[in-house]
Amino acid sequence: MTGDLLRDITQIGLVRKLGVPRIPVLRRYEPGAPLLDGPALVGVIGAGRFAEPIRALLTAAGVADAGDEGRIAAVVLDASAVRTIDELAGVQQFLTPTMRRLQPCGRVLLIAPEPDPADPEAAAVAQAFDGLVRSIGKELRAGATANLLVTTAETDPAALDPSVRFFLSARSAYVDGQVVHVGPPVGRAVDPAAAGDPAPADEPLSGRVALVTGAARGIGAAVAETLARDGATVVAIDVPAAGDALAKVANEIGGTALQLDITAPDAPQRIVAHLEERHGRVDVVVHNAGITRDKLLANMTADRWNAVLAVNLRAQLAINAALGEVLSDTARIVCVASTSGIAGNRGQTNYAASKAGVIGMVRALAPQLAPRGVTINAVAPGFIETEMTAKMPVATREAGRRINSLRQGGLPVDVAETIAWLARADNGGVTGQVVRVCGQSWLGA
Amino acid sequence: MTSVRRAAVIGGNRIPFARSNGAYAEASNLDMLTAALDGLAARFGLAGVEVGEVAGGAVLKHSRDRDLTREAVLGSSLAPTTPAYDVAQACGTGLETVVLVANKIALGQIESGIAAGVDSASDAPVALNDDLRRVLMKLNGAKNLQQRIAALAGLRPGQIVPELPRNAEPRTGLSMGEHAAITALEWGITREEQDELAVASHRNLAAAYDRGFFDDLVTPFLGLSRDSTLRADTSVEKLAKLKPVFGTRGKNAAAATMTAGNSTPLTDGAATVLLGSDEWAAERRLPVLAHVVDAQTAAVDFVHGEDGLLTAPVFAMPKLLARNGLTFADIDFFEIHEAFASTVLATLKAWEDPAFAEERLGLDAPLGPIDRSKLNVTGSSLATGHPFAATGGRITATLAKLLHEKGPGSKGVISICAAGGQGVVALLEGA
């Protein structure tokens, strides 16, 4: 239930006959669902190293090769070896015939090289993929998305697997027009033989201990539920006043509730002590807790400013600083930022500053944590249908919903799925990234 | 059977206590107990887990509340295969459930258990008039028309008046407050010291909330996140303005000292305590806050004898201490249930009185005074309120946490007076 009445009306046959464009119902992940609900086309330009492993991944996942005719559920193009404008033309040649074959909620996933500063043409071509993929996202209809993975010469094809799975699957329903760098996995190289059994495909977070702040409702509750669905044991945190809702979430997912105010001076120590006592470690930390205290800057008070900065930014910094040894050697930290932190938002100077600050923190900590095998990333939700947005004035809410490529608001689970992808132990190649879950919003692109 | 071991107090959960006809006016005992169990399950990851047993109870029960605790378990997130039973010992119920569960764990009969209590003064049972009930029972048993007519002939207009629950002793007709007022007068408890104790209770409770002490002991319910009786800003001056409400009749009316400010109001709420063997706690990586060392109950003849209704703990405590070779000097925390401020003060005076020690307790010397800075340090019933059967669980979990903070080997005692002239006391040791 999204409360998106307009989307529901456009599903009615008569309304469509009147020429009202249909707002797509997005394909979303259900446990046990196939990776794709149709065949896929995998192409390669030049000496790309990723096409073959991706074909193998798709075959193993039961996805058929689309061939030259008929509908396709996903197009993947390994353009990682493209360095010249002539080669870039090959990208257009390959993609153009696929556009009309793409079925509803189809996927376009491009794999591009990192810009090479020593070669101006190669750097230009690498950057060209940004504009290309974002334009494809805006041209696609019926819930289809386009995203870009940027690779380096060191990127291990296996490190790409979790990202390929995520962007092709229904888990990435509301992630569109995004550019994600995938490098070599952080930390020491792990001997696959010593790494133990890989997590089962339907429970990729099996055996992992996850901490989620702000888990009593909204996006945080969806994150807790999604991580638990993927096999994680969840420690759900929220303020004591939200304890009843928090207990409900924890009991439904077989996790535990920890009531505390993350802005309390002793909160980081209490969190670490709790994790050490109950679990001995933490594998996934999701900094989701956040508040708004909106006012135009002209009317802003120090209380409102400080309250937002304390919860949204200072607490994340303090908890990260305290985690230390309790972080496991495949730990993943995911910080919830916001598109407001990227694009700015009228009346949200405090909120946008805090969320932009989160992005700054992520970029600073990523290289510090990498040698330990730990990644840190930010997820920036756009317009997500929550209790908070349900209270917005109708006009503001309608505008927020429609000004993106998918012409609708996202759901809390869309943010949660993105976090679950970044939380995987085998996703060590993605760090220091900011992934927007915004349906390719016009704001902050 | 394995050898006797000490049961561990792992933690607790309660809902905030609410003044009657307030936040929980529409909530039943079952609703509140289920919520308290669910909060406990969430805190310790017990969703879907089979616990050894749940012992619970309520003082005021509807006839529909037969097997109240089992029904609460079935409605909670605990495994439905968790057995449960109801216990009743007036206001001693809550602590008695702790003793029962701890004893079973000590004997190795169960590895884990939950002690619980709940009460609602808002959703109290109102029963049919007893005469009317007899007529209806007779009608139900009638076998033919003649017998039915004969049964119905027993109907009288006065039978429409229902049976309301009364906060009065069946054998004396006096309310608990009136009984306490008699005791207060006997022991010469002054208005000022009662008001001081009440203020300390509110201030201690407020300070404990402010430092986050209850973050892992309380889960909000129906919009309430702190006890609604709590008055952080109360003072001796404010309380001095209240008129006495108990002991206000008869020849000693002028000496009445007990007010609404130094007596606990009727309250709704529920509390739970998770107990287990050390092994069970370790397997699940759960903390051990304290161990239940020993407990003692006592009863006094308040009907014909000279003792006050709420003075049984006075007799239970010396037995408990003697059996464990302890004196008051060994105790770090005293948790004395504040049914009325005067009850606590009369209890303390009895323990300090050499003549009483010799004549009534059979001791050479009194137990002595206690260091007031060790008494009810995070507040007690005057500030939290007192949903009868929930008080024992509230105090046990609170004391266990205090002892854990103090460190291994620290000791605390709990003293709870109960209707019917009964009392339950217990000794806990920090882990």
Which one of A244, A250, A259 has the shortest CB-CB distance to B215? A259
For residue B165, the Cα-to-chain-centroid distance in whole angstroms is 18
User: Which residues of chain A, if any, have pLDDT below 50?
Assistant: 1
Instruction: Please tell me whether residues A104 and A221 are part of one structural domain.
Output: no
- Cα dist. B345→A348, B101, B422 in Å? 56, 30, 17
Q: Is residue A60, in this structure, part of any structural domain at all? A: yes
Q: Is residue B139, in this structure, part of any structural domain at all? A: no
Chain B residues with CB-CB distance to A250 below 8 A = 42, 45, 47
Q: Is residue B245, in this structure, part of any structural domain at all? A: no
What is the pLDDT at residue B306?
Answer: 87
- Kindly state the greatest CA–CA separation across chain B: 74
- CB-based contact (8 Å) between B214 and chain A? yes
Contact: A254, B45; criterion CB under 8 Å: yes
pLDDT digits (tens, 9 = 90+) for B290-343: 999 999 999 999 988 889 889 999 999 999 999 999 999 999 999 999 999 999
Provide the domain limits for residue B306.
Answer: 176-212+293-430
Contact: B216, A247; criterion CB under 8 Å: no
In this prediction, residue B364 has a pLDDT band, given cuts at 50, 70 and 90, of very high
Instruction: Please tell me whether residues A160 and A270 are part of one structural domain.
Output: no
Instruction: Please tell me whether residues A32 and A151 are part of one structural domain.
Output: yes
Q: Which residue has the higher pLDDT, B56 or A386?
A: B56
Instruction: Please tell me whether residues A162 and A222 are part of one structural domain.
Output: no
Instruction: Please tell me whether residues A222 and A355 are part of one structural domain.
Output: yes
Instruction: Please tell me whether residues A168 and A223 are part of one structural domain.
Output: no
What is the pLDDT at residue A445?
Answer: 57
Q: In what order do the strands lie in the sheet with A102-113?
A: A40-44, A72-78, A102-113, A145-151, A179-182
Contact: B220, A261; criterion CB under 8 Å: no
Contact: B216, A258; criterion CB under 8 Å: yes
- CB-based contact (8 Å) between B285 and chain A? yes
In angstroms, the separation between the Cα of residue A245 and the nearest Cα of chain B is: 9
Contact: B212, A258; criterion CB under 8 Å: no
CATH number (domain holding residue B326): 3.40.47.10
CATH number (domain holding residue A38): 3.40.50.720
In angstroms, the separation between the Cα of residue B158 and the nearest Cα of chain A is: 46
Q: Is residue A445, in this structure, part of any structural domain at all? A: no
Instruction: Please tell me whether residues A78 and A219 are part of one structural domain.
Output: no
| Structural domain count of chain A | 2
Q: Is residue A288, in this structure, part of any structural domain at all? A: yes
What is the pLDDT at residue A1?
Answer: 45
Nearest-angstrom CA–CA distance, A288 and A390: 19
Q: Considering only CA atoms, which of A380, A329, A397, A434 is closest in space to residue A174? A: A380
Q: At what angle do helices B130-141 and B145-152 cross, to 10 degrees?
A: 170
- Cα dist. A383→A325, A398, B74 in Å? 36, 10, 40
Task: Give yes or no for residue B423 having a pLDDT over 70.
Answer: yes
Element (H, E) at A226: helix A218-229
Provide the domain limits for residue A314.
Answer: 209-437
DSSP per-residue codes, A329-381: EEEEEEEE--THHHH--TTBHHHHHHHHHHHHHHHHHHHHHGGGT-EEEEEEE
Residue of A nearest to B286 (CA): A278
Burial status of residue B381 (CB atoms within 10 A of its CB: 0-12, 13-18, 19 or more): buried
Instruction: Please tell me whether residues A170 and A213 are part of one structural domain.
Output: no
Q: Which of B37, B44, B73, B77 to mutate: most A Cβ within 10 Å?
A: B77
Cβ count near A83 (within 10 Å)? 19
Single pTM value for the model: 0.90
Contact: B212, A257; criterion CB under 8 Å: no
Q: Which of B37, B43, B218, B224 to mutate: most A Cβ within 10 Å?
A: B43
Which one of A244, A264, A279 has the shortest CB-CB distance to B285? A279
Chain A residues with CB-CB distance to B220 below 8 A = 240-244
Q: Is residue A444, in this structure, part of any structural domain at all? A: no
Beta partners for residue A110, in sequence order: A77, A148
Catalytic (active-site) positions of A: 351
What is the pLDDT at residue A189?
Answer: 63
What does the pLDDT average to over B84-108? Answer: 97
Q: Is residue B358, in this structure, part of any structural domain at all? A: yes
Q: Is residue B345, in this structure, part of any structural domain at all? A: yes
- CB-based contact (8 Å) between B48 and chain A? yes
Contact: A251, B221; criterion CB under 8 Å: no
Block residue for tokens 């608001």: A409
Q: Is residue B184, in this structure, part of any structural domain at all? A: yes
Chain B residues with CB-CB distance to A255 below 8 A = 42, 45, 47
Please check whether residue B86 is in contact with residue B69, taking contact to mean a CB–CB distance below 8 angstroms.
yes
Instruction: Please tell me whether residues A232 and A267 are part of one structural domain.
Output: yes
Highest mean pLDDT among A6-15, B153-162, B247-256, B367-376: B367-376
Burial status of residue A353 (CB atoms within 10 A of its CB: 0-12, 13-18, 19 or more): middle
Residue of B nearest to A260 (CA): B215
In angstroms, the separation between the Cα of residue B401 and the nearest Cα of chain A is: 15
Q: Is residue A443, in this structure, part of any structural domain at all? A: no
Instruction: Please tell me whether residues A48 and A133 are part of one structural domain.
Output: yes
Q: Is residue B132, in this structure, part of any structural domain at all? A: no
Q: Which of A256, A263, A276, A279 to mutate: most B Cβ within 10 Å?
A: A256
Q: Is residue B371, in this structure, part of any structural domain at all? A: yes
In angstroms, the separation between the Cα of residue A254 and the nearest Cα of chain B is: 5
Q: Which residue has the higher pLDDT, B1 or B388?
A: B388
| Structural domain count of chain B | 1
- CB-based contact (8 Å) between B27 and chain A? no
Task: Give yes or no for residue B142 having a pLDDT over 50.
Answer: yes
State both tokens at A134.
Answer: 């974002």
Q: Among residues of chain B, what percentage have pLDDT more than 70? A: 98
Instruction: Please tell me whether residues A162 and A249 are part of one structural domain.
Output: no
Q: Is residue B395, in this structure, part of any structural domain at all? A: yes
Nearest-angstrom CA–CA distance, A262 and A268: 7
Strands (DSSP E) contained in B327-421 are 333-336, 411-418
pLDDT digits (tens, 9 = 90+) for B211-253: 999 999 999 999 999 999 999 999 999 999 999 999 888 888 8
Please check whether residue A74 is in contact with residue A106, taking contact to mean a CB–CB distance below 8 angstroms.
yes
Residues 76-95 in B contacting A (C-alpha not used; CB under 8 Å): 77
Contact: B220, A243; criterion CB under 8 Å: yes
Q: Is residue A198, in this structure, part of any structural domain at all? A: no
Instruction: Please tell me whether residues A352 and A214 are part of one structural domain.
Output: yes
